[in-house]
Amino acid sequence: MKPDVLQLKALSPQLEAGLEAAYTVHRPYRAADPDALIGQVADQVRAVVTGGDLGVPAALWDRLPALEIVAVHGVGLDKVDLDLAAARGIAVTTTPGVLTEDVAELAIGLWLSLSRRMVTADRYVREGRWPRAERLPLARRASGRKVGVLGLGQIGRAIAQMAAPFAASIAYHSRRPVEGVAYAYHASPEALAEAVDVLFLVTPGGAGTPPLVDAAVLAALGPGGLLINVARGSVVDEAALVAALTDGTIAGAGLDVFEDEPNVPEALWSMENVVLQPHRGSATEEARSAMAALVLENLAKHFGGNDGNTEKGREGP
């Protein structure tokens, strides 16, 4: 008999086809009454498949007594209760490694787009303002800037490597110094922000965790500084960020993630000093195909008794 899987959100056709082939899949998000469907199948559900943006809702854990594994399509774990999973012996897997370059590329793209005002210039052309010789503000050179990376994990290192040809210098902050890297280490986010021109955020966040980037960090980044966030919206005090962008505390921001997705503060919509993306760091054909394959591999290894999956504990990657 196929194991029962609860799929909490729509995923790629490749992944959904793979799930259908190997498991009995229940999709409450497609049901007229999602809660009723969960109630009908809860006792036999052995796996949950979800996204890092959704995780596992707090009320769902107690309804799934037979749950053995949570397979996350992504690397975000801030919406998965790892302590509860550990207490119940439930495996939690992610899809690390296969999206590293894709997220790093988007981070660099946000930086270049922001510095060179690409979105503003694109809109200038599309709105027919060029023939009218309307003024278009000058952009800023990206090369020669001091770059900081907050969170030097896999993606943080990839960003640092991609930024190297542009950067005058690269520095970082993590919970502790990382062995084997030549980049300058700063002991706090505020110290890092004060030392750089462009600050990339690549550190995990989580519900109930105070934002690492608050008004003091933004003030340290300064009126010429750019903030690029491809981590989690919870890493930044969003109200402080909006204020800093409005009053010129920082020069601009490139944002792929937000505090209450998909709801983005309306104040950001009309700002010319921001570039906004709808959480698309891993949204390439290549990454999503590899992520789907890894979710299926993690499930297959679990149910086949193989421990070689990408199981995560409290510390994460």
Domain co-membership, 120 together with 248: yes
Domain co-membership, 38 together with 55: yes
**90 located within any domain:** yes
**224 located within any domain:** yes
How many angstroms separate the CA atoms of 263 and 148, rounded?
28
Domain co-membership, 92 together with 169: no
DSSP 104-165: HHHHHHHHHHHHTTHHHHHHHHHTT-TTTT---------TTEEEEEE--SHHHHHHHHHHTT
**313 located within any domain:** no
- What pLDDT shows up at residue 311? 66
Domain co-membership, 132 together with 230: yes
**192 located within any domain:** yes
Domain co-membership, 140 together with 202: yes
**311 located within any domain:** no
Domain co-membership, 136 together with 86: no
- What pLDDT shows up at residue 107? 98
Parallel/antiparallel/unpaired status of strands 167-173 and 145-150: parallel
**183 located within any domain:** yes
Domain co-membership, 187 together with 236: yes
How many angstroms separate the CA atoms of 38 and 43, rounded?
9
Domain co-membership, 179 together with 252: yes
pTM of this structure: 0.90
Residue 70, helix vs strand vs coil: strand
Domain co-membership, 271 together with 178: yes
- Give the residue numbers annotated as catalytic, written as ranges: 232, 261, 279
What range defines the domain where residue 265 resides? Answer: 100-276
**136 located within any domain:** yes
pLDDT means per 10 residues in the chain (317 residues)? 97 97 98 98 98 94 98 93 97 96 98 98 97 96 98 96 98 96 97 98 79 98 98 96 98 96 96 97 96 98 76 45
**Could you identify the residue written with the tokens 């090369």?**
143
Domain co-membership, 137 together with 259: yes
- What pLDDT shows up at residue 317? 32
- What pLDDT shows up at residue 207? 61
**75 located within any domain:** yes
DSSP 242-253: HHHHHHTSSSEE
Q: Which two tokens stand for residue 144?
A: 């020669």
Between the alpha carbon of residue 82 and those of residues 89, 210, 252, 280, the distances in Å are 10, 18, 35, 25
CB atoms inside a 10 Å sphere around CB 78: 20
| Of 241, 192, 181, 186, residue with least CA distance to 220 | 192
Domain co-membership, 138 together with 57: no
- What pLDDT shows up at residue 90? 98
Domain count, the chain: 2
CATH code of the domain containing 244: 3.40.50.720
Domain co-membership, 159 together with 258: yes
> Contact, 63 vs 298, CB < 8 A?
no
- What pLDDT shows up at residue 205? 73
